[in-house]
Amino acid sequence: MTLFRTGDPRPIHLMGIAGAGMSALALIARHRGVAITGCDSDTSGAGVADLTALGIRVWQGHDPSHLDGARAVVVTAAVPREHPELDRARALDLPVVRRADALGDLVNGSWASGGAGGGGSKSTLVAVAGTHGKTTTTVMVTEALTAAGRNPTGLAGGRVAAWGVRRRSR
């Protein structure tokens, strides 16, 4: 998949962009030069300010017109299959991509391999899983790799004070 190629000026639209996972995905994609828009039923969280500060347009609520000019739509599991924005995406023949697949493409897909406008170098993915302490452990691993002279991208579930946001981008 080449969802995050940077040569396409059309935005990728993220439904549920204010959530922890989607906002971090949006921040990394934007940092890498990809145009992003998004919407959410609740845009009052602190993470939305991080998005708008980077020039990401975030709409309160959902409307099919949000997809005008978009190249693809990324959805969370919380978005029902029958939804006015998704109906519009299908009518426009836009790719509808699950967040997990979009994240996989961003970290292991065309960007990481240097293909299709990605421009990156081959990367290794380190994932942190579990019930408690994932954000803390993710930050510790990312900072340890940074101190070791690596240049990692960290994607945490919560806001990280030292990073100012949920991600540390290379």
Residues of the chain with pLDDT under 70: 1, 109-123, 165-167, 169-170
pLDDT at position 155 is 79
Rounded to whole angstroms, the Cα distance separating 162 from 142 reads 12
pTM of the model: 0.80
Q: 97 by DSSP, 3-state: which?
A: strand
Nearest by Cα to 22 from 44, 51, 61: 51
Rounded to 5 degrees, φ, ψ at 72 are -165, 165
Rounded to whole angstroms, the Cα distance separating 163 from 47 reads 13
Neighbours of 47 (CB within 10 A): 23
Spans of all domains in the chain: 12-108, 126-169
Over the stretch 59-68, which tens digit does the pLDDT of each residue have? 999 999 999 9
pLDDT at position 113 is 45
pLDDT at position 114 is 45
CATH number of 12-108: 3.40.50.720
Q: How far apart are the first and last CA of the chain?
A: 22
By DSSP bridging, strand 96-98 and strand 36-40 are unpaired
Round the CA-based radius of gyration of the chain to a whole number and report it.
16
